[in-house]
Structure 1
């Protein structure tokens, strides 16, 4: 009589998003959603006229971080799409704003989350979208 162990059911790939590194990503995105949004709210409400472009970009970054956090939290196909789009926008934003803030410092008299590639936040805004996109790709549903 051959021993045929019963195969254990595979863990759904979507469950991996909310575990391990996925939980860390969710936590970091949540922190950035809160900090970027709070920063933008204070900047816009107290001294908007000093650097409107920078403060509006901070607000936009906060919205992107909120969307990424929600996408990672809800999971499923919709959550994955929302997180993927948010991480992609974040990557594009940090690269464009980072480059422009160095090339044209006059246009950015005050920093945003993405200024100088996120140097004010330890370059986490530059690294985070790469990790987020990699994590989403690595844990994508497979047939």
Structure 2
């Protein structure tokens, strides 16, 4: 028995990938500017922005690339993204001293129209709907496995 993964880059998946790519570009640009210009002011916040950029880049690639290994990478990065948005979002609200400057995930992604909060939820839903399915190699194997 083998597994097959439905294409993650078909249909609405293309829109999801485009939004991830756009967010990867925006987060990368923001973090590079922050790291080069004001790193001393908020090293934790700016390092988290750089981490978010890397997560968005890897998630974008994982959503595009075929195969079960990339499917797992997509789940890992998108889950990490959601965890990051929730943790940084809560910390930036309840302990703003930790984040004297805004990050991509501050305030649950408020600076990006809350897209960083909604995107991983949509990504997880899309991945679930595109999960690998077992495929029987041929009719003979199916007959042997069912006893027919």
TM over 0.5: yes
Q: Quote how far apart the aligned CAs of 1:13 are.
A: 4.6
Kindly indicate whether residue 120 of structure 2 is the aligned counterpart of residue 120 of structure 1: no
**Which of 8, 11, 30 is matched with 1:39 structurally?**
30
What is the TM-score of this pair, normalised by structure 2?
Answer: 0.86
- Structure 2, unmatched stretches of 5+, are 135-148
Q: Aligned equivalents of 2:30 and 2:56: distance in 1?
A: 13
Q: How many residues align?
A: 131
Q: Is 1:90 aligned to residue 69 of structure 2?
A: no
Using the size of structure 1 for normalisation, the TM-score is 0.89
Question: SS where residue 133 of structure 2 aligns?
Answer: coil
Query: Going by fraction, where is strand more abundant, 1 or 2?
Result: 2
Correspondences of 1:25-64 after superposition (within 5 Å) = 25-64=16-55
The alignment status of 1:67 with 2:63, answered yes or no, reads no
Q: Provide, for residues 39-76 of structure 1, a one-character-per-residue CA deviation record: whole Å limited to 9, x for no partner.
A: 10110001100011100000000000001001011121
